[in-house]
Amino acid sequence: MINYTSSDEDPSIQESLLQLSTQLGHPLDRASVDRLYQNARDLLSHISSAPLTLARVAGTLLVYDIQNPAAEELQWFKAQIEQCLDEEEVEELIESIHRTDAL
């Protein structure tokens, strides 16, 4: 299990979230991006994960937040992440969401 400290933060992920929110037509302020980033870190706190997985979880949270922050899908996603036993399961979950969205 990884316990993150402020020194573990990856500002490039937060910058990417800022840019992505603007590209999606819903620019977020720094506080909102920091909240999404922290939510992603909290969701992954029970497993060891790479920065790419953290970025993908944060990006997925961003999309859900833009679409409808109170949506059942967001709560479902968070619950699924919390049940994942390792990084591979998280990646498979995200991939399955993208496959479903593409249909």
Range of the domain at 51: 27-102
Say if 5 falls within a structural domain.
Answer: no
Four-residue CA torsion sign, 79, 56, 45, 88? positive
- Token reading at 53: 């997985």
Residue length of the chain: 103
Q: Average pLDDT of the chain?
A: 87
Which candidate, 70, 44, 74, 46, places its Cα nearest to that of 60?
A: 74
Say if 15 falls within a structural domain.
Answer: no
Residue 6 has pLDDT above 90, yes or no: no
pLDDT tens digits for range 46-99: 999 999 999 999 999 999 988 886 788 899 999 999 999 999 999 999 999 877
Residue 40 has pLDDT above 80, yes or no: yes
Residue 100 has pLDDT above 90, yes or no: no
Say if 91 falls within a structural domain.
Answer: yes
- Token reading at 90: 């998280």
> For 76, how many CA atoms within 13 A lie in the half-sphere containing its CB?
7
Q: Total structural domains in the chain?
A: 1
Say if 69 falls within a structural domain.
Answer: yes
Say if 14 falls within a structural domain.
Answer: no
Say if 89 falls within a structural domain.
Answer: yes
- Token reading at 85: 């036993």
